[in-house]
Amino acid sequence: MTKLNPTSPLRSLMETFPIEGRLEWIGLRPGRRTPLQSMNHVEVITDHGLAGDHKAQRAGGKRQVTLIQREHMAAVAQLLKREAIDPALLRRNLLVSGINLLALRGERFRIGTVVLEGTGPCEPCSRMEEVLGAGGYNAMRGHGGITARVLAGGVIAVGDALAYEAGAS
């Protein structure tokens, strides 16, 4: 992502969020193709990911944590003619609300005391067709959330605030 001049009017717009977001749900994937485990809180390990998640076994990488937006889950449910979607089906670690996740790509943000950096989109995979049924993959396109790396670890809990880190990028 191209860095803008810090005094650019566009940079100022990109750093302005009307409200903080909120962490709504936490899920751990203990292994490939295993069901997600719903948690109330979790330790987040710098440069690894969520303790207990199979992706956290190795350091580095751009996909240490995956996030999806509650508002997008409602859109996916509507596209599939469902009342709601269980976040565990979508294989993302964190469900958040109140902030546009796509605006956090390439940016630093904080959940509780943990600092993350958005690294890119979290595109759907063929598993979406398996767990959501016919059309699940296409329903998720554009609604899959983002991936992030962990810059500063700590413990996060459902209910924690999610906020952009002004001036950090």
- Write the CATH number for 115: 2.40.33.20
Domain that holds residue 121: 22-32+40-164
Distance CA 26, CA 4 (A): 33
Tell me if 2 is assigned to some domain. no
Digit-coded pLDDT (tens) for 81-137: 999 999 999 999 999 999 999 999 899 999 999 999 999 999 998 889 999 999 999
Q: Which of 141, 124, 107 is nearest to 1 (CA)?
A: 107
What is d(CA 55, CA 60) in angstroms, rounded to the nearest whole number?
A: 10
Torsion, Cα 71 54 158 85, to 10 degrees, reads: 30
* Strand ordering across the sheet containing 49-50: 49-50, 41-45, 154-157
Copy the structure tokens of residue 26. Answer: 């936490």
Report pLDDT for 18: 58
pLDDT of residue 8 exceeding 80, the answer is no
Is there a domain that residue 58 lies in? Answer: yes
Region 48-53: mean pLDDT is: 96
pLDDT for the residue numbered 17 = 62
Number of domains in the chain: 1
- Tell me if 7 is assigned to some domain: no
The pTM score is 0.88
Considering the domain boundaries, does residue 1 fall inside one? no
What pLDDT score does 13 carry? 62
Distances (CA, A) of 9 to 16, 96, 166: 11, 28, 14
Confidence grade of residue 20 (pLDDT, cut at 50, 70, 90): confident
Conformation bin of residue 56: beta by default, left when phi > 0, alpha when psi is -120 to 50:
alpha
